[in-house]
Chain A
């Protein structure tokens, strides 16, 4: 008999809640014939974005999304992947590549999570961020001098296109855009809906800024994992590919829903797109340097292994149109190769 509590800081309307996390918990109960019972405590009532890692370490919850962007000191290898997020412009490719790296290819990625009592089972990266703007920004010249709300790897991207990055919390972003304190924010298209940003900005400039990387979204705290019998662990491993695939598609579909709501969608001119790409390339070296300074000796090697993996998944997922097809791919490419002693 296993009791599994998943804590999340996402609001109930966040695509992952109904699209992936809750169905997964149901699937765990169904597939285990009642030997696994689950509880979902959402909306930040027990965990916040900043404390999920500690909550797993201490056993406050049994599973939770680890927002690596808030844990650069604790998870320097995950932070390295977060910092090269500008490379990950396709959500299926990055979700597949991150899951494979964490489960099979990158032992350093996994062990640093294990040191914090996290047995990771599946990863995720959001659909590529756009610039959500008050005015339609078309060219590099248009972007000159704009004030753009940016965080994480997008700070340098904002500087690269001649804008001034400004630092605002996510709850302040609405107000700042409304009152003309910010001209744009880097962000997910879903925010127009979920954060009501669509009330104040009507332009989506698709600059393909890459995504915020989540190295461990589906997981079990490691001490609980080690207490489980073989059959129970197998239930987790059998059901999680569906959840990973559903999650990626929940966000793809949410983006499509928003895009159908009549926003002005701008495809940027070549000079703007190139400025972003060029900076994204440069940022790899600084991400490696930051990781090395944080004690990740083989940071360069990790990146050199990951980027081809991303490309491989990019190619693999070109024909993938449904969550089922993506799930099948995850099963054959990743989960079929999990070692017996996982």
Chain B
């Protein structure tokens, strides 16, 4: 145990990022050197041998490439363009209308996707190119689509909620249902932010004139949106009907998407090929970072740094809201550097006993903590959702622009977290109906 080494390692990580070492490799290098200093060469080398393979050889993670692929196919088939034609007709005339539509589309997609990263990837493909084409400011367009991904972990299915429930020994079904209202609340908050910003500064999003549409146009709009409704119903339906698990639903969703685009005759072989190739490159670049974060987590666990950090913070107050505020702060700091699963694995053993002792409702605490873990996906320097957006868009928009656009939504997150702290019923109302 050597907490100082833990803090130094974060400094070393920053240096490597300044040198523009790819993030996955920077995390790997720091973790390897750190483990070498703490435990010697063989243990450090052993982690390099075992972790990369083990981390990705994981069934539930297969949902990530599958959802990336659904989005890619949808984009290449032009389905997205038609959806936005419909959305433009209906809400596009609102200030920031397409960004508002993105917020709610993200909440809808969250009901199909178990992970934040997959939701962000899908929205990056579906919504961002259309907003850019309409002349939306790139920071706004990418910011809303990046942030909206975090709803993916709040609205069920959610992998991270199930894992928290397992650790805290609370009912997984209550935990999942507890995320629904906070998820919808987040979408509304995002939409409000977009509307307010665009009212104040109309340059952010060119106003699309509202015009009187004919019934024929509305009908065509409905037909354009129909495939998405079929897809959403097919994926969610296959889960709730017990045909597929939420992991399988992702792969099954690819088949459904293919059937839909083939029925519409809107995807060329070349489009399909490109979708698949893009998905492979995106998958590899995301997982390389996740692997690095996993190794960093192993190293930091050895330093005892997270334990010291949380111990120091917990020494300050005994009030439930105070404790939760401090937990949020802790997660905000750790979330800047680590992946959500890593932060949770490192801190739950320390935080859960404190929550228990203070008599805090573990479901309330859990949803707030998951929310904070998701905020960590947006914060630099290691903000995985921003990276997913970047790799989804390729060279079109710089990472700095994405981070800048996302930071607006962090202020909204602060409001949402404050509401959840002040009004626990936001979280606890739906689970209380299950008793």
* A interface residues with partner B (beta carbon < 8 Å): 5, 11-13, 39, 41-46, 48, 50-51, 54-55, 57-60, 168-169, 171-172, 174-176, 178-181, 193-196, 199-200
Contact = CB atoms under 8 A, between A and B. Distances in A.
9 contacts: A39-B304, A43-B167, A45-B345, A46-B301, A51-B50, A51-B54, A59-B42, A60-B47, A196-B165
Chain A residues touching B, majority SS: loop
Contact of A54 (B50, B170, B246, B247): B50
A320 to B, nearest CB: 29
A43 B349 contact: yes
B42 A58 contact: yes
Contacts of B302: 5, 41, 46
Contacts of B173: 174, 178, 196, 199-200
A44 B54 CA distance: 13
A193 B169 contact: yes
A57 to B, nearest CB: 7
Dominant secondary structure of chain B at its interface with chain A: helix
B163 A171 contact: yes
Contacts of A13: 167-169
Interface string B152-185: 0000010100110111111111100000000000
Interface in B341-367: 345-346, 348-349, 352-353
Contact of A179 (B40, B42, B239): B239
6 tightest A-B CB contacts, nearest first: A58-B46, A45-B301, A60-B43, A179-B242, A180-B242, A196-B172
A132 B150 CA distance: 35
Contacts of B310: none
Contacts of B43: 55, 58-60
Nearest to A3: B1
A180 B243 CA distance: 9
B45 interface: yes
B137 interface: no
Interface in B45-63: 45-47, 49-51, 54, 59-60
B345 to A, nearest CB: 5
A45 B346 contact: yes
Nearest to A117: B42
B168 to A, nearest CB: 8
From B35, B50, B54, B243, name the one whose CB has the most chain A CB atoms within 10 angstroms. B50
B39 interface: yes
A194 B166 contact: yes
Given A58-B47, A59-B46, 13 more contacts: A5-B302, A13-B169, A43-B349, A45-B349, A51-B51, A55-B46, A55-B50, A168-B245, A171-B166, A172-B246, A172-B247, A179-B242, A193-B169
Nearest to B348: A43
Given A12-B349, A46-B302, A181-B245, A58 B167 contact: no
Given A45-B345, A171-B162, A199 B172 contact: yes
Contacts of B171: 196, 199
Interface string B44-83: 0111011100100001100000000000000000000000
